[in-house]
Amino acid sequence: MRSLSQRRLAEMIDIPYSTLCRIESGEIATFEKYRIKLAAALGCSPDDLDADGVDFPTVPIVGIVKWKHFVKDLPQKEWEPVELISGLPPTSKALKIKGNHLIPSHGNGDILYFDSEPQSNARLFLERECVVELDTKKRGDKLICWPTQGSKKGHYLLHSPGSAVALDAKVKAVYPILHVKRG
């Protein structure tokens, strides 16, 4: 099946985005008048829309944000698969928020999707929520923050959720958050 955003799919079949959301959530139990257009847009047969056990692409939850804004990497044997959101790159991975310490930004159970390939173009991550890996001797120093320009090359001011203090730190890699799925 094709990888489309919900908005693009709604445009393709000429229905309001809200109607597509209601079909997908089950609020509209019968969608017969949209079935042929949906199947054509998704590249499947109309009967495939009713199939049980359709294997949708998944991505692993590779870490949790459990205390403040720090990311705890999970061993691979503990990775949990979650749905790959349409339109995200196949190199996407996810983090899960544990607890309510990031409110109002994130709540318990939120899933943060990010590209596991680091972004080198600062214009594509500055002032956006990101997973940032610090350039320290400790392996796995990662946190959720909004980077802005730092004091020198390779350094960024890291603005963490719920903190009035920004850390000016040398950064090893930046992974912009691509999508948030509310828990």
180: pLDDT strictly greater than 60: yes
Where do the CATH 2.10.109.10 domains begin and end in the chain? 58-181
Instruction: Decide: pTM greater than 0.75.
Output: no
- Residues of the chain with pLDDT > 70, as a percent, come to 92
Give the confidence band of 4 by pLDDT, cuts at 50, 70, 90: low
Distance CA 46, CA 36 (A): 6
Give the confidence band of 55 by pLDDT, cuts at 50, 70, 90: low
As assigned by CATH, the class of the 58-181 domain is: mainly beta
